[in-house]
């Protein structure tokens, strides 16, 4: 293999293909385990703090679970109430949509010379398949929802045992590693755990702040169900670059339906654009930090891979795992070029850092 670079490249390519095949076909097992690993990294600092205060390990873990459930439960409960409020207004929105469709049909009649009756018949024909399979869609949605709750239970159980047996996992990694690199291996384990914990806790804080900013901005515009849309778009911000544009589509459409002026829709776009600017340049660099400083190209590639292999779960999970991988690459000298390839210069991560550098330069 050393004498034949082509053979080495082919074998590496084949190994990579097998690796991604394994990720795809084992996703039903790996997705809950991955969420459990990330959640355990998130809870670990608080768990260690409680153990330092003489809590038994099992009690410290359960106490962390209780805190997490209270915080996440309050957030989810608020969101559910907003969803209920939104669904209660659907009949009103239906009338507004029918009114808007009437205007559009009359416009199309003058443009393409097709009567509203023919347009309605065409729409009914296209919708008939969806309506006839509506029961099947509801059944699939119910099964998916039930599966989600079962997965959440598995995630919490696995997280408990990941935290409870964490010393065993750490010793296992140290045993299989070369004894010469034991100190470096310990550094990698500690750094990876810290970066994952800071990343996940920071993301959650940013979601809360964005939920408030989005909701307040939409309330100022006067959009109905502003809190519902504000929280929805903030949650989708987990998916870099594309989450916010996708989430903004529905509130923009609702602004077009419920308001006569186009300026309401423009205002919605302006609110999300401004908040996205604040998040990219001030919130994320200072709350999440620059430890997961992955460049945009690597981020997009990881999102594409994660989305194709594990769907939305992959788009959420793969990025923090890439950050953990980068920590490993940074600490292993032969792999430093790969860390450099996927990273970005910390001084270029935000406008705030540039302002700080200019201020320090003037000093």
Token pair in block for residue 62: 């359960």
> Lowest-confidence range among 105-119, 256-270, 312-326?
105-119
* C-beta of residue 99 within 8 angstroms of C-beta of residue 235: no
**Which pLDDT band, with edges at 50, 70 and 90, does 21 fall under?**
very high
Q: What angle do CA 31, 33, 36 make, to 5 degrees?
A: 110
* C-beta of residue 288 within 8 angstroms of C-beta of residue 206: yes
**Which pLDDT band, with edges at 50, 70 and 90, does 347 fall under?**
very low
Among 89, 81, 86, 80, residue whose Cα is nearest residue 145:
80
* 253 or 268, higher pLDDT: 268
Dist CA 299 CA 305 (whole Å): 10
Asked whether residue 184 carries a pLDDT value surpassing 70, the answer given is: yes
**Which pLDDT band, with edges at 50, 70 and 90, does 57 fall under?**
very high
Highest mean pLDDT, choosing among 80-84, 108-112, 147-151: 80-84
* 293 or 105, higher pLDDT: 293
> Lowest-confidence range among 115-129, 150-164, 231-245?
115-129
- For the residues 221-225, what does the mean pLDDT come to? 83
**Which pLDDT band, with edges at 50, 70 and 90, does 361 fall under?**
low
Q: Position of tokens 């309330």? A: 219
Q: Is the dihedral of CA 8, 11, 15, 20 positive or negative?
A: positive
At 294, phi and psi to the nearest 5?
A: -90, 135
**Which pLDDT band, with edges at 50, 70 and 90, does 213 fall under?**
very high
Q: Is the dihedral of CA 239, 243, 244, 247 positive or negative?
A: negative
- Give me the numbers of helices (H) and strands (E) for the chain, helices first please: 15, 0
């Amino acid at each position: 293999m050393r004498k034949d670079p082509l053979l080495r490249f082919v074998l590496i390519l084949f190994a990579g293909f097998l690796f991604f095949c394994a990720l795809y076909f084992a996703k039903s097992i790996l997705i809950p385990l991955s969420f459990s690993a990330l959640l355990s990294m998130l809870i670990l600092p608080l768990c260690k703090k409680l153990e330092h205060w003489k809590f038994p390990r099992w009690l410290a873990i359960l106490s962390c679970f209780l805190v997490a459930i209270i915080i996440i439960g309050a957030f989810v409960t608020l969101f559910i109430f907003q969803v209920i409020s939104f669904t209660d207004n659907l009949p009103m929105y239906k009338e507004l949509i029918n009114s808007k469709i009437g205007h559009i049909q009359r416009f199309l009649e003058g443009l393409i010379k097709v009567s509203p009756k023919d347009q309605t018949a065409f729409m009914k024909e296209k919708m008939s398949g969806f309506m006839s399979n509506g029961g099947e869609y509801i059944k699939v949605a119910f099964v998916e929802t039930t599966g989600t709750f079962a997965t959440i239970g598995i995630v919490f159980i696995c997280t408990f045992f990941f935290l409870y047996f964490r010393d065993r996992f750490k010793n296992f990694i140290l045993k299989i590693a070369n004894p010469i690199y034991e100190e470096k291996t310990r550094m990698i384990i500690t750094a990876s755990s810290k970066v994952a914990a800071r990343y996940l806790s920071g993301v959650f804080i940013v979601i809360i702040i964005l939920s408030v900013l989005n909701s307040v901005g939409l309330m100022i515009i006067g959009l109905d169900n502003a809190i519902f849309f504000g929280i929805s778009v903030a949650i989708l911000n987990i998916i870099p670059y594309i989450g916010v544009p996708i989430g903004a589509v529905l509130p923009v459409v609702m602004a077009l339906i419920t308001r006569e002026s186009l300026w309401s829709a423009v205002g919605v776009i302006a609110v999300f654009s401004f908040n996205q600017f604040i998040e990219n340049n001030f919130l994320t660099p200072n709350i999440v930090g620059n430890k997961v400083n992955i460049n945009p190209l690597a981020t997009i590639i990881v999102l594409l891979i994660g989305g194709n292999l594990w769907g939305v779960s992959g788009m959420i999970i793969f990025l923090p795992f890439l950050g953990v991988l980068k920590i490993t690459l940074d600490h292993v000298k032969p792999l430093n070029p790969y860390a450099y390839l996927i990273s970005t210069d910390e001084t270029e991560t935000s406008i705030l850092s540039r302002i700080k550098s200019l201020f320090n330069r003037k000093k």
